[in-house]
Amino acid sequence: MGNGRLGAMIYGGVQQERLQLNEGNFWAGAPYDPANPAAYDLYVRARKLILAGNAAEAEKLLQVDGLGKPSGQASYQTIGELVLDFPGGGEAKDYRRSLGLDSAVATTQYTIGDITYTRKIFSSAADQVLVVRLTADKPGRISFRASFSTPNKNSHSGARASELVFTSTGGKHADIQGKVQQETIVRAINDGGAVIGSGSTLTVTDANAVLLLIACRTNYINYHDLSGDPDVLARKDLAATSKSFDQLLADHLADYQPLFSRVQLDLGTTPQAQRPTDERILHFADGNDPALAALEFQYGRYLLISCSRPGGQPATLQGLWNESMNPPWNGKFTVNINTEMNYWPAEKTNLSECTAPLFDLIKDVSVTGQQTAKVMYHAPGWVLHHNTDAWRATAPIDGALFGIWPTGGAWLLTNVWEHYLYTGDIETLRTFYPIFKGSSEFFLATLIEEPVHGWLVTCPSVSPEHGALVAGPTMDESILRDLFAQTAEMAKILGVDDEFRQKVLAARQKLAPFQIGKYGQLQEWLDDIDRETDSHRHLSHLYALFPSNQITAEDPELFAAAKKSLLGRGDAATGWSLAWKMNLWARALDGNHAYVLLSHLLSEPGGDAANGSATGKLQYAGGGTYPNLFDAHPPFQIDGNFGATSGITEMLMQSHEGFIRLLPALPDAWPEGSIQGIVARGGFVIGIQWKDHRLASASLQSRNGQICRIHSAVALQVMDDQGHPVQATKEGEVYSFATAGGRSYTVREGT
């Protein structure tokens, strides 16, 4: 469950229900500045060492004093668990728990004796509370004790009347004492029976039904302001107690369903779809359950709506959900792939609003990144390395081979440009142009000429998490090619900074070009040192194929080189890497290979993960999917879920080449189906129906009235929403026709 800020994991026990709670602003530590003045001179020395071929000495030089101070970032924290203990015993039968993706309501139901018990739970964005309703089909049978459990030693709970109140403070970060305070209030509203608060327990006896409203707030206002009052804010949320359950549910659905229902996907169904989800995962590779792929697609959209809403934090490595005070990788924002992957589905699956928290983060790090640029590089503009946190730290962390990578902020900015391409939102360009310019200014000041060709390269840097410190890894050069092109085009659109625009374009021309190595592969580095087969999880040099559009089928030589590199990486991987490969194979126009990656994603996890569900603890696993459809990167990262949703979309529609491809990577496993409501660049809402692996028809709604261009190897016929033919011109295999904003069009194969 999640409303973008307030999240819960629901375990569905019979004798004990556990609701593990998260509030997106509850982090360790307090505002801090990690910019390290000692780094600048070391970077100057490291550049010389790297260019002289002594990367090992450069790494040794930078391993300690070349990083930020502290050299790690703050952790996202759990609130803890609300535990409901039910008295008595008896064997439960007819047990069923479910999550309705179309309603964002979780339901647990079972029968003990002759009484059927039902719990319904949702996290309301409309009312900013978690709502729990407990009912039985006979009166006076709802009794339980409610209390809090938490790994946080700096916490306190107390109960009185019909309220249970729990307060705590986030843990330390390095030597910085935690200063984020939270307050969680559980209010019980009973129909019959009694509610008594005493000590640290809320006791409900003999009620006909009980409504629990859970409000949670922190003092976190933003990355430099902790002046909020959690009690005042939480009690304001509890104004929802004036509403009935039916009204709370109606308001929740009125908020959630308009977002979720924008897109429908039908890949066909079989009897397998009636089995429990965990069993379906075990058998997906059998090829008899196309509806599970559609469920995975919609689950990713559900998760994005649930963990990324305007005003909240962006999706972390685990979205909104985390059970620990010290989660894997601190549960942060890892921007050398994972945070970007979280938002790959947003624009194309019609959830543009969900990017707002990410855009807010970009604004923040463009401010804090100025200090890092100034202190650590003696450069103008701003920079962000491979991680950030709630305090928007931007210095390199963890170690030289992970952290000395300066293009994280530039990659994040491509999300803003993509938003413009999908929406045509000029105001977003006006807001973000100074931020694009600041990032470009940093690189114009810090790029150096490599000595052989005079190419402009980053140095020191890495190809994320793979290999040694280098100059000009292919990923960096590709990201900067996008940054400079986007900055220049924004300046042109807005009619500003022509001199700076020309400077950026000139620098772009001097960036290191793509190179094809001795195996026919796209080189990952300036030097041809790739191995022909390399199972490393990162596919950084293939950024240009996806998510960028710098390598396409329009350039057969580079296209083939990218595919050669992709083959060399193999299919086995951790969860998020499987999802990236799935997107890459879709961009390579190989739907059957993309489907192989989806089958690896929708498979039973390795290790002891299957045993983990009994304890509620996620265990080590090497990819696959847990019974609740979470991506099983060890132990869990949500980017695999978002990447899968993106990959399925890319298999069915692509628009990155300046035209739309319909069914560009349709696998043999999906001979017929339909998708409605996905979005193409240019502001076109797309619907596609296909049968016998061929396009039956497509619908396009034009939001912005732009020229629509569709690639097709067969003749196309276009009709407007009045049934009149629309003139389309043909150039090669691309058909172009004019559209009017707000109008709809139908496309079919024709003569």
- pLDDT for the residue numbered 622: 63
Q: Which of the 8 DSSP states describes residue 312?
A: S
CATH for 6-28+77-255, among 3.40.50.300, 1.20.120.1200, 2.70.98.50, 2.40.110.10? 2.70.98.50
How far is Cα 228 from Cα 424, in angstroms, rounded to an integer? 36
Which structure tokens are listed for 722? 């009045």
Q: Is the pTM of this model over 0.95?
A: yes
Range 388-400 average pLDDT:
98
- pLDDT for the residue numbered 211: 98
What Cα–Cα distance (Å) separates residue 148 from each residue in 17, 155, 156, 201? 12, 10, 9, 8
Q: Are the folds of 35-69+352-513 and 673-749 the same?
A: no
How far is Cα 673 from Cα 513, in angstroms, rounded to an integer? 41
CATH for 35-69+352-513, among 3.40.640.10, 1.50.10.10, 1.10.3720.10, 3.30.70.1230? 1.50.10.10
Amino acid at 319: G
Residue 557 has pLDDT above 80, yes or no: yes
Q: Which one is predicted more confidently, 261 or 239? A: 261
How far is Cα 7 from Cα 349, in angstroms, rounded to an integer? 22
Q: Which one is predicted more confidently, 652 or 608? A: 652
> pLDDT, tens digit, for every residue of 627-669?
999 998 878 899 999 999 999 999 999 999 999 999 999 999 9
How far is Cα 285 from Cα 595, in angstroms, rounded to an integer? 10
In this prediction, what percent of the chain has a pLDDT beyond 90? 95
CB atoms within 10 A of CB 547: 24
How far is Cα 674 from Cα 690, in angstroms, rounded to an integer? 6
List, in order, residues 6 or more apart from 186 with CB less than 8 Å away: 82, 146, 163, 164, 165, 166, 202, 212, 213, 214
DSSP-derived secondary structure for 376-421: HH--SS--B-SEE-TT---S--S-HHHH--TBHHHHHHHHHHHHHH
What Cα–Cα distance (Å) separates residue 607 from each residue in 532, 601, 619, 632? 29, 15, 7, 10
Which structure tokens are listed for 278? 């965990």
Residue 606 has pLDDT above 90, yes or no: no
Radius of gyration of the chain from its Cα atoms, rounded to whole angstroms: 27
Q: Are 466 and 536 in contact (CB under 8 A)?
A: yes
Please give the class, per CATH, of domain 673-749: mainly beta
**What per-residue string of b and e applies to 248-280 under the rule 16 or more CB within 10 Å gives b?**
bbebbbebbeebbebbebebbeeebbeeebeeb
Residue 751 has pLDDT above 90, yes or no: no
Q: Which one is predicted more confidently, 613 or 500? A: 500
Placement of tokens 């308009």 in the chain: 258
- pLDDT for the residue numbered 635: 83
What residue segments make up the domains of the chain, in order of their start? 6-28+77-255, 35-69+352-513, 517-570, 673-749
What Cα–Cα distance (Å) separates residue 304 from each residue in 3, 347, 486, 632, 657? 10, 11, 26, 17, 26
Q: Are 726 and 690 in contact (CB under 8 A)?
A: no
- pLDDT for the residue numbered 241: 86
In whole numbers, what is the pLDDT of the chain averaged over residues? 96
- pLDDT for the residue numbered 609: 34
- pLDDT for the residue numbered 397: 98
> pLDDT, tens digit, for every residue of 517-553?
999 999 999 999 999 999 999 999 999 999 999 999 9
Range 237-265 average pLDDT:
96
Three-state DSSP state, 160: strand
> pLDDT, tens digit, for every residue of 559-577?
999 999 999 999 988 889 9
- pLDDT for the residue numbered 614: 34
Which structure tokens are listed for 369? 């990144």
Which structure tokens are listed for 480? 């900067």
Range 667-677 average pLDDT:
98
89: confidence class by pLDDT, cuts 50, 70, 90: confident
- pLDDT for the residue numbered 610: 34
